[in-house]
Structure 1
């Protein structure tokens, strides 16, 4: 694996030199857009909306629409606003990781210590595990300041980017449901259904079946054949009554178990 960032984790007055590696990868298949007539690749062009002519890359500028007109920004404007290009992930405080709502999570990176930082890295890793805490810090990646959570996983310190508060939309425009509309017996069966389906989280049990089935179809078509794909049909409830639907679901889950 090739590292995407080199710097250090600032733990108090201790700097731990590390390299970051992407911890995630896309499971989707990679497709090219082609001309149906001869299967040539499709290229995208930057077209002037008014003249419909292609615009050379060096003639393209960035503008922000404000008060009925565009304000044009140049490279110096972006450089002025950019955060200081520090190479330190500065730990600002420590929190219970359960207190971080999953809506904040973005993407994760594995960190690997440089040789001179192995002891300090090991100390931070063990301290995080023992305290059951996660660190909150900031770092600059590709000229952008990022908020992150520093947490342990499989004896590796993971750096997970999280969103800032202003990136989360308010829920005030979303219609809320009054819990008084749910009866006690419906709630009791709902809780029983959750208990029936409860288990330890095992990510390996969940597969990207869409990509797998699509690849089967591609390989079959390459041989001039047609793959048979089994599709799961959603079960339909026999009643429109919520309580009856819950009871049917509870019975079906018991049979499955």
Structure 2
């Protein structure tokens, strides 16, 4: 597992040397763009919008656009100095809170924390303390030249660092258009909706969810590799929008449908149950 960062976790006077590893990976299928005439890959050049000339890396500077078309140019030396001043290689835990107090909208990316040399005992201590207290650590970390807010928590046998959006990075709910109030909710409809939720409630098992689009796309790619002339991907029909008049009917139908599914156990489960009885 590739190390993306090395430093330490600190809380109070405790200092734990750690390494950071990406906890997730992107399985999206990357599609390249080709020239239709000859199937050669398309390249992208950095071109100046005024001179219309290709620009070399040495001729590029960084700047902040404070208003449309007006910039403050930042020297490489200034940025490097700022980077060094803030390059503290530590995850500083500043508070301990309950995980449920942080809404998932704040979470950004997950990293595994692994103990570095000599950090095993202190790492295990922090893991046990977090586990038994049912708390997580709110921390600050400098990652990729940017200060990040983060949560340090226990995931199975490891410590995980989750980067968190700053409060001003989360847009205001008040700015979301056309959000209805609760006045239009009918009591009977709510009762049926609650029954439907109850019937669909199950322990979370991430392995039962699959990326159907990615699987279909790979099937298409493999079929084309094998030389098949035509491949048809069955597209799912989007469910029609439910209007207020048929809301109750849709809820009731969903309730009946899920009730039937619950009663009829999957073939594997039925077979397993018969095996146990035998």
Shared fold (TM-score greater than 0.5)? Answer: yes
Q: For residues 23 and 238 of structure 1, what CA distance do their matches in structure 2 show?
A: 39
TM-score by length of 1: 0.93
The CA deviation at 1:79 is: 3.7
How many aligned positions are there? 257
User: 2:186 corresponds to which residue?
Assistant: 183
User: 2:265 corresponds to which residue?
Assistant: none
- SS for the counterpart of 2:128 is helix
What are the within-5 Å matches in structure 2 for residues 109-148 of structure 1?
Answer: 109-148=111-150
Q: Is the 8 A contact 2:106 2:165 kept in 1?
A: yes
User: 1:213 corresponds to which residue?
Assistant: 216
Q: Is the 8 A contact 1:27 1:208 kept in 2?
A: no
1:74 aligns with 2:79: no
The verdict on how the C-alpha distance between 1:128 and 1:249 changes in structure 2, with shifts beyond 3 A counting, is same
Q: For residues 198 and 39 of structure 1, what CA distance do their matches in structure 2 show?
A: 50
Higher relative contact order, chain-length normalized (CA < 8 Å, sep 6+) = 1
The CA deviation at 1:131 is: 0.9
- SS for the counterpart of 1:255 is helix
User: 2:50 corresponds to which residue?
Assistant: 50
1:165-194 CA distances to partner (integer Å, 9 max, x unpaired)? 010111222233111111110110111111
1:177-219 CA distances to partner (integer Å, 9 max, x unpaired)? 1111111101101111111111111111111121111111111
Q: For residues 166 and 108 of structure 1, what CA distance do their matches in structure 2 show?
A: 20
1:14 aligns with 2:14: yes
User: 1:34 corresponds to which residue?
Assistant: 34
Q: Is the 8 A contact 2:61 2:76 kept in 1?
A: no
Q: Which ranges of structure 2 fall in alignment gaps of 5 or more residues?
A: 263-278
* Alignment partner of 2:91 out of 89, 92, 95: 89
The CA deviation at 1:232 is: 3.6
Q: Is the 8 A contact 1:96 1:133 kept in 2?
A: yes
Q: For residues 42 and 237 of structure 1, what CA distance do their matches in structure 2 show?
A: 41
Q: For residues 51 and 131 of structure 1, what CA distance do their matches in structure 2 show?
A: 62
Q: For residues 9 and 241 of structure 2, what CA distance do their matches in structure 1 show?
A: 54
Q: For residues 74 and 202 of structure 2, what CA distance do their matches in structure 1 show?
A: 53
User: 2:174 corresponds to which residue?
Assistant: 172
Q: Identify the range of structure 1 (211-220 vs 28-37) with the bigger mean alpha-carbon deviation.
A: 28-37
TM-score by length of 2: 0.86
